[in-house]
Structure 1
């Protein structure tokens, strides 16, 4: 069977799926044993962070290079290339699309953030997993393999840098990719970006420019939030940080481990891996400080949600979820938990917009 187009992924996680995320997990087996017996209380903010003199440097938008254009052209050609499903028992080849289930272990324990379920990826060398995909070449579709490697010094979990890791990999499916090239007769129709190579590259340049502008806006927002967190005077307890990490773990890794029939003790050990990671704790504290700071600003400045803002947010969620405004409205009305999450999302966006309106953007250093 041959296919073409962007068939390598299992879809981006939509805003609606994030809103719905935890519902089926709260009553699942094993969840009660992982909940904190005494949920941590949110601290009070001594004083809403001042927005006076709030200045952040504008992010630098790097100019496009020929390498940038070539890299995106190559990626688009691969994305739109024809694909053939490999048969069960057929060998995996370098460059294939792979559907994998992965668990990683080091020092006898599950590596935090290593679990992957129904993961579509490309069999190509990866700096963060040196030798991982190379070891899958020749593996049989439908079977499992074990890959052993040394984690690089740049690995995300600092305590595991340089450690020997063992990955258990289920090769669920593989697709052979017949790559488009600039000489392929179907190139222009497949890319749908112009009828000449020059037109294609011009459109790619426009896409990349737009993406970099969006990235710069996101970076600007993150800088503003960093400054807000610094100005938020409150004590964030270790227990509250634990709760925030537990929430994130519950919505990401936990369902994958339950699907693989992990026992209660194994689930607790996996959670402890997240709770003990220093970078995860720093990030969780930052999120909490930002949330507390935004709430305090909303209360002090008496910012109220506007109906047009809520409608606009509903439209964004509906579009990202490929549903209609009416269908989304039914979901919100039928599930109080989803409605609460929507309200929290709306408040966060409203608070962020309010803070951004007070920021003075200065030239980059």
Structure 2
């Protein structure tokens, strides 16, 4: 689904739970979950050699005219005139709508279908055909259901082609009035000069983002090689615990607020535990965390103070709190301090690995 989340956190992030709610800790690698609350033994991992580590660069995606059009259209939406719709007023095509969502298939809650306070743009989305179109005509404050067949491209493979029912609460809506492409008012709000200047600026931004994405994908390829070299065997209980923690941080609090009973909560968790792609992702992250921890110990890697300060600045910006407030939270919450150290060490170790790898030209 295409989303637009413009909610803002308020006040200082005083606890790990609040940081999770603000979305900061989603950047954390699985390393921070290795100290399990369950009696799970961590496997011994022999750090793989970094000698002869050669990986081909991933070529950047070409910049297309459609990319520019979509980015400019996003800016037009961002700077559109907005009017809050009143309770009982109909939602219109092109609106922004605030939703709570629960999705069900085969009489069970669908994994990863739960959303709370989710701002979406009411326009067709090929990922879930018919879903956003069904919002047109719904009333602000209304609770209603949408029934549709999940497409062949639905992210959860086992649910593709299944009949699904989504229960929605329409909590708020905003009508958008888009300004014309060459409107002087739009150009004034963008503050980038003429329309030609705007498009040149967007092209530069997109080119930089494509390069950053190339670097990220190349790094992922290097880390995949490390996982292959180490060949870590993970106990199923450790994978279960990693998935359980992720579910407890994201979906469980929403379901609890929706008065789900213990048996319903367990059924929802099992949906995550039994999803093959979720298990594969958790296993890879755990294996990589163990491998990087072993490399850091063998090679004496430590977080660089300057890089750690930059990381804290980045996290403070992401959490919408000041650096001072985040620093105070870290001092008052030892668990948070440890997790931030783990993230800094993870990033330092990845940087250490990337300095050892030989990058070659992209494959033809």
Determine whether 1:266 maps to 2:271.
Answer: no
Further displaced range: 318-327 or 73-82: 318-327
Distance 2:6 2:156 in 1: 25
CA drift at 1:21: 5.1
Aligned to 1:30: none
Distance 1:61 1:141 in 2: 43
CA drift at 1:314: 2.1
Distance 1:54 1:167 in 2: 48
Provide Cα deviations, 1:65-94, integer angstroms capped at 9, x if missing partner. 222211211111111101111111011111
Distance of aligned partners of 1:102 and 1:236 in 2 relative to their CA distance in 1, 3 Å threshold: same
1:100-111 correspondence runs (5 A): 100-111=99-110
Secondary structure, aligned partner of 2:180: coil
Contact 2:98 2:172 in 1 (8 A): yes
CA drift at 1:305: 3.0
Determine whether 1:306 maps to 2:304.
Answer: yes
Distance 1:38 1:339 in 2: 21
Contact 2:19 2:319 in 1 (8 A): no
Distance 2:317 2:19 in 1: 21
Determine whether 1:182 maps to 2:168.
Answer: no
Aligned to 1:9: 6
TM-score normalised according to structure 1 size? 0.89
CA drift at 1:38: 4.4
Determine whether 1:74 maps to 2:73.
Answer: yes
1:278-357 correspondence runs (5 A): 278-357=276-355
Contact 1:20 1:338 in 2 (8 A): no
CA drift at 1:23: 8.3
RMSD of aligned C-alpha atoms?
A: 2.1
CA drift at 1:154: 0.8
Further displaced range: 147-156 or 342-351: 342-351
Aligned to 1:128: 127
Provide Cα deviations, 1:95-150, integer angstroms capped at 9, x if missing partner. 11000000000000000000000000001111222111111111111011110000
Aligned to 1:43: 43
Aligned to 1:141: 140
CA drift at 1:334: 0.4
Aligned to 1:241: 239
TM-score normalised according to structure 2 size? 0.89
Distance 2:271 2:252 in 1: 12
Aligned to 1:33: none
Distance 2:341 2:17 in 1: 13
Aligned to 1:191: 190
Determine whether 1:91 maps to 2:86.
Answer: no
Distance of aligned partners of 1:22 and 1:261 in 2 relative to their CA distance in 1, 3 Å threshold: farther
- Which of structure 1's runs of 4+ aligned residues deviate more than 4 A? 16-24
CA drift at 1:244: 0.8
Contact 2:57 2:218 in 1 (8 A): yes
Contact 1:21 1:251 in 2 (8 A): no
CA drift at 1:20: 4.3
Q: Which has the higher contact order (CA 8 A, sep 6+)?
A: 2
CA drift at 1:327: 2.5
Distance 1:100 1:90 in 2: 15
Number of equivalences: 343
Distance 1:355 1:37 in 2: 30
* Unmatched runs of 5 consecutive residues or more in structure 2: 22-35
Aligned to 2:32: none
